Every structure is written in C-alpha cells, then in structure tokens.
Amino acid sequence: MQFSGHPSLSRDEIWTLLDLCESASQSILACYNDETSAGLLRSKEDRTPLTKADLASHNILSKGLLSLKPELPLLSEECTPDEIADRHHWDSFWMVDPLDGTREFLDRTGEFTINIALIESQRPVLGLIYEPLSRSGSLGIVGEGAWRLCCDSGTWRATSLSTRALPTRQMVILASRRHSNPRLDSCLEFLNARHELLRQNSGSALKFCDLAAGRGDCYPRFSPCSEWDVAAGDALVTAAGGMILGLDGAPLRYNARETLLSPHFVAVGDTSTPLWQELLACMA
C-alpha cells in the first residue's frame, strides 16, 4: 500500500525525508561500529548522555530539513537555547530527536532510533521513527494511515500498519527496562486485576512502533522524557488507529509550555474500550 503524502509534505518530500534519515543513520553507525568514537562526550545538564553520534545526526538532519522546507523551524534535542528562543511563536515546525536511546546506543543494545515529527498547532500531524540498524522506519500521517518502510536495493517499500483490538485475555504491556516507579507499579496492578499481562521491554521509541504494528496493547509512561521523545510516536500511533492520552484524559500538546519535558501519558492501541478511562481515573 502506498501513501499520497500530507498537505504540508508531499509524497516525494517524504521519500526525501527517508533518504535524509538514512544519511543521518550512516553517521550514527560509523560511530556505533567504531567503539573509539562512539563514547560519551559529556553529560548534559539533565544528566542525559551526549555522544558524537548525537551531534553528527543532528547536523545532517538540521541541514537537510532546512533544505527540504526552508520555512519550517527546527526544535531538536541538540539545538542551543538561542536557536529555539522564539519557539512559542512557532505554529508549524519540526520536532526531532537525532538519536533517541543514547544510553542504548552506548550499551550497544541496538535499540536506538531517529525521531522526526511535524508539529502543527501544537499537535503532531506526521511522525517518522527510523531504525538505523535495520534501515527501516515507521511512518504515521494522521488522518491517512501508518506504514512500515523498508529499503530494498535502494527502493523504499511501504506496508500498512494498524493497531489491534484489545485481546480478551493476555494484554501486552510495552515498557522500558530502565524505568520503574510506584506509579507504573500501580498501573500494572490495576491492569493485572483485569487481564493477564505480558511485559515486553524495549528501548527508545521502538515501543511506539510495536504499538502501531499491533504487537502490543498499552505503553504507560510515568518516568521523565522530553517532547521530542514522544511526538513522532504520538503521530504514528494515532495514524495507526490508537491514541496517546495525558493523565487528564486529553491528547498531549507540544511546545505549549515553558518546559519541554513531556507529561506522563498512556499510549494505547484499541481506542474503543472504556478500560483506559478507568485506568486514568484510577491514576489521577
């Protein structure tokens, strides 16, 4: 199945976006395959790690996105404060994490991604999560659909993605092996009283990809992350038929607050069940 694009980004421009991700991936993998250059440069103020791969990917993506859409500003994890000083005045812009899962990158688990979202009026309308090691990605265009994209002999091929109906018995919970806290424990306790649970751990934004592909049912997030960690996955899951809700039951808004930390949320595949609103009421 093929896609026609988005009013703000044509089909040809989406293929260009994929090629740009592939170029950034090559810079990431050059560091990943050379342990002497893949190491930590420093820890940032929020104690998250920064590597040469983060910066190399950021430089390629920022130049490429500017060339693709000169009118759209960029809000990247690696932007300087001066570069995003006017961000609250932006109605449409790119939100990018050039290397999501830097700790996974450093630990060589392979679970790292490039996240690109197009934000319009504080909501993501397009999201691309690209996996450098497999040369593949997951694309969501809200209102049109979601696709798995793979590069085969230089040609991009797309197959459609869709979230699944909630199983009557075993529910697959998507989570991070690195994050556990009392609120997550309470969430799992609530769900476990109603379903048999299978927990599936993965790093970076791959949990959104699993949800959009129907390989999981719920991704609860109650530990710190930033908006660029979430925006592309929000568009992807929404386009595939799911939803991401804050603990107030409303969709997340982006670049709407002073902080760029993401609110806690629950991402789900099956939007028809009342279970999620019951869960949010329990977590309030």
Give the global pTM: 0.94
pLDDT (0 to 100) of residue 45 = 54
pLDDT (0 to 100) of residue 146 = 97
Q: Which of 138, 161, 184 is the last residue of a domain?
A: 161
- What domain count does the chain have? 2
Same domain, 183 and 149: no
Same domain, 273 and 189: yes
Q: Which of 100, 127, 161 is the last residue of a domain?
A: 161
Same domain, 140 and 240: no
Q: Give tens-digit pLDDT for 14-46.
A: 999 999 999 999 999 999 988 665 565 555 555
Same domain, 157 and 181: no
Same domain, 192 and 133: no
pLDDT (0 to 100) of residue 176 = 83
**189: domain CATH number?**
3.40.190.80
The per-residue DSSP string of 133-179 comes to TTTEEEEEETTTEEEEEEEETTEEEEEEE---PPPSSEEEEEE-TT-
Same domain, 100 and 129: yes
Q: Give tens-digit pLDDT for 244-258.
A: 999 999 999 999 999
pLDDT (0 to 100) of residue 35 = 66
Same domain, 42 and 70: yes
Same domain, 136 and 219: no
Q: Give tens-digit pLDDT for 125-151.
A: 999 999 999 999 999 999 999 999 998
pLDDT (0 to 100) of residue 110 = 93
Residues in the chain, pLDDT under 70: 1-5, 35-48, 179
Could you tell me which of 94, 126, 122 has the C-alpha nearest to residue 238? 126
Q: Find the domain containing 49 and state its range.
A: 5-161
CA dist 264 and 262 (Å) reads 6
**134: domain CATH number?**
3.30.540.10
The per-residue DSSP string of 76-140 comes to ETT--GGGGTTGGG-SEEEEEEEEE-HHHHHHT-S--EEEEEEEETTEEEEEEEEETTTTEEEEE
Same domain, 132 and 236: no
Say which residues have a Cβ less than 8 Å from residue 259's Cβ, sequence separation at least 6. none
SS3 4: coil
